Amino acid sequence: MRSLLSLATALGGALTIRAPQNVTDTPSKSTLLPDSLYVDNAPNYLRPYVIRQYATAQATILRGEVFRFYITGPSSGNAFTLVVVNAPQNAVLNVLPHIHERHFECFYNYKGRFQLWAQGRDNITQETRVLTQGDFGAVVRNSTHTFQMMDPDSQMGGAIVPGGFEETFFAIGHNASFGTHTPYNPAFSNTTYDLTFSNGTMANEAPFDVYNQPRFQPRRDAINGTAPANRTWHTGPNSPAPFGIPYFIANGFGPKYLNNETGYQIIQPVVTLNQSGDLNFTSSTITISATPQNATVAHWLIQETVAIQVLEGHLWVHIAGFDAALLTCGDVALIPGGVGFRYWTDTYFTKFFSLNQGGNGVDTQLIRRGAEYHAVVFPDEFS
Ligand SMILES: *[C@@H]1O[C@H](CO)[C@@H](O)[C@H](O)[C@H]1NC(C)=O
Ligand SMILES: *[C@@H]1O[C@H](CO)[C@@H](O)[C@H](O)[C@H]1NC(C)=O
Ligand SMILES: *[C@@H]1O[C@H](CO)[C@@H](O)[C@H](O)[C@H]1NC(C)=O
Ligand SMILES: *[C@@H]1O[C@H](CO)[C@@H](O)[C@H](O)[C@H]1NC(C)=O
Ligand SMILES: *[C@@H]1O[C@H](CO)[C@@H](O)[C@H](O)[C@H]1NC(C)=O
Ligand SMILES: *[C@@H]1O[C@H](CO)[C@@H](O)[C@H](O)[C@H]1NC(C)=O
Ligand SMILES: *[C@@H]1O[C@H](CO)[C@@H](O)[C@H](O)[C@H]1NC(C)=O
Ligand SMILES: *[C@@H]1O[C@H](CO)[C@@H](O)[C@H](O)[C@H]1NC(C)=O
Ligand SMILES: *[C@@H]1O[C@H](CO)[C@@H](O)[C@H](O)[C@H]1NC(C)=O
Ligand SMILES: *[C@@H]1O[C@H](CO)[C@@H](O)[C@H](O)[C@H]1NC(C)=O
Ligand SMILES: *[C@@H]1O[C@H](CO)[C@@H](O)[C@H](O)[C@H]1NC(C)=O
Ligand SMILES: *[C@@H]1O[C@H](CO)[C@@H](O)[C@H](O)[C@H]1NC(C)=O
């Protein structure tokens, strides 16, 4: 498999693409790669693919929430799962407090509002934050956590590492089938889901690394989106915590780096190797400018799984010998290790998630060749 993909890489690597892109000279791809990049469900083996936001994505309903699995254990070579949840406002917790011993769970707010609770291994310091668009919460292993959807048009989700955690949902939820691919069934609106159900199923989830924590009482004293009250939340800088401690980063308040190699890219890491440790993954948002006419779009060849999910604007992703794919908001591209790719935008401002297995991913390399930066927007002239 690897060597066939490398062949495709070599073909893709022969191209020199400039922006705006004309990909009609793309060489024919290896016949052993799939005919089409586009899938409606994450594939059951490691291969390049693109999946649209609100595709079927093995959609699973649990407590009125719809979980879509854009990346699964099998589709990523077990690197990670990428799950996105759409759900209405809920008057109570969406799930009872629980722990994962083996899975690091990232919570990102795509839109709307949700509240997240997390308590680290010390069992003492219970943190909660109300997350609005672009906010991030890291539930590291062995943190007791729970969440509640707060707005009618809320979308949350993120990576769960390592891959395979979707099996939990397949075991206890039921398959969703929406002819219109609506984010969630409107019949779920205005429904309060009874936690007794969650309590009842959780005992069955222990084999899937879900451990009920019935003694955890979620604090309800958040003011200005945070409790304890003295935490910095949308009022100043946040940074990823040392290994083993849950943490939260408000949108735009985390560390930032600027890379100027092909236009501008602002990298805002949410998980570095310091936080992922032996799970060995990194994740950042990357804000990218258009490519100046005198720059050449970079060719990437990474030996481990890479994923991209567009958050704002749109991104062209050219993988191996496939035609370049245009990804818009919420769309995902999965690139196996050893497969060459390029990405660029022909809009003026695009933001995407970069999710990387191992310590040499897109975000890590861009940071290494960039410099610390102070803003969420790039400079007003190309360098
Ligand atoms: C792309 O290149 C082909 C072949 O050179 C040319 O016919 C076509 O007009 C180009 N398309 C664009 C959008 O530039
Ligand atoms: C539900 O979907 C999962 C994953 O796509 C599949 O394995 C399972 O067979 C489906 N179950 C039913 C009842 O359709
Ligand atoms: C999580 O807790 C389990 C059970 O105590 C332990 O075996 C495991 O090492 C812990 N994981 C981490 C990353 O601390
Ligand atoms: C934290 O509480 C859980 C039960 O909620 C218990 O299993 C665990 O041992 C406790 N950890 C510590 C460090 O006290
Ligand atoms: C929502 O639920 C309340 C209480 O059951 C009910 O009075 C109201 O009509 C419902 N609203 C909608 C839009 O269904
Ligand atoms: C969940 O079950 C535990 C016992 O396993 C019980 O103590 C707790 O009250 C239950 N919680 C809810 C919300 O039903
Ligand atoms: C909440 O925010 C308001 C407005 O910024 C501020 O005046 C108030 O002191 C904050 N309250 C707390 C408890 O931080
Ligand atoms: C918040 O208050 C607690 C208790 O007084 C203290 O231990 C902690 O350092 C404070 N945190 C910040 C960020 O000021
Ligand atoms: C990891 O932590 C070390 C020690 O605090 C620090 O020097 C290094 O910059 C951190 N690495 C990243 C990628 O944040
Ligand atoms: C690329 O073009 C920009 C203007 O768009 C200019 O400022 C810059 O010096 C050029 N860089 C190189 C390497 O030619
Ligand atoms: C993480 O992955 C890199 C390859 O990207 C490897 O060199 C390194 O040893 C791995 N680290 C751990 C802690 O597994
Ligand atoms: C581009 O970025 C590099 C690395 O941060 C920096 O050394 C260099 O000065 C930057 N170039 C310009 C023209 O800003």
pLDDT at 122: 82
Answer yes or no: are the C-beta atoms of 139 and 246 closer than 8 Å. yes
Identify whether 318 is a catalytic site residue. Answer: no
Identify whether 105 is a catalytic site residue. Answer: yes
Q: How many CB atoms lie within 10 A of CB 273?
A: 17
154-169: string of b/e by CB count within 10 Å (b at 16+)? bbbbbbbbbbbbbebb
Closest ligand relative to 238 C-alpha = 8
pLDDT at 195: 80
pLDDT at 31: 42
Q: Ligand 9 centroid to 274 CA: how many Å?
A: 6
- pTM for the complete prediction? 0.88
Catalytic pick among 65, 103, 105, 304 = 105
Distance between CA 343 and CA 97 in Å, rounded?
39
User: Across the beta sheet with 114-119, what order do the strands follow?
Assistant: 211-212, 98-99, 144-149, 114-119, 126-131, 226-227
Identify whether 98 is a catalytic site residue. Answer: yes
Q: Which residue owns the Cα nearest ligand 2 atom 6? A: 170
pLDDT at 32: 56
Residue 305 has φ and ψ, to the nearest 5°, of -65, 135
pLDDT at 152: 94
pLDDT at 46: 95
Q: Ligand 8 centroid to 236 CA: how many Å?
A: 15
- Is the CB of 263 inside a 6 Å radius of any atom of ligand 12? no
Going residue by residue through the chain (383 aa), what tens digit of pLDDT does each one get?
334 334 333 333 333 333 334 333 343 444 457 889 999 999 999 999 999 999 999 999 988 899 999 999 999 999 999 999 999 999 999 999 999 999 999 999 999 999 999 999 888 899 999 999 999 999 999 999 999 999 999 999 999 999 999 999 999 899 998 999 999 999 988 777 778 777 777 888 899 999 999 899 999 999 999 999 999 999 999 999 999 999 999 999 999 999 999 999 999 999 999 999 999 999 999 999 999 989 999 999 999 999 999 999 999 999 998 999 999 999 999 999 999 999 999 999 999 999 999 999 999 999 999 999 999 999 999 98
Q: Relative to the CA of 383, which ligand 12 atom is closest?
A: 13
Q: Could you give the domains of the chain?
A: 2-33+255-372 (2.60.120.10), 57-243 (2.60.120.10)
pLDDT at 365: 98
Which residue of 98, 123, 141 sits with most ligand 4 atoms within 8 Å of its CB, as the best mutation to test the pocket? 123
pLDDT at 364: 98
Closest ligand relative to 235 C-alpha = 7
Distance between CA 244 and CA 48 in Å, rounded?
32
DSSP conformation letters of 191-235: -PPPHHHHHHHHGGGGGGT-EE-TT-------BTTEESTTS-SSS
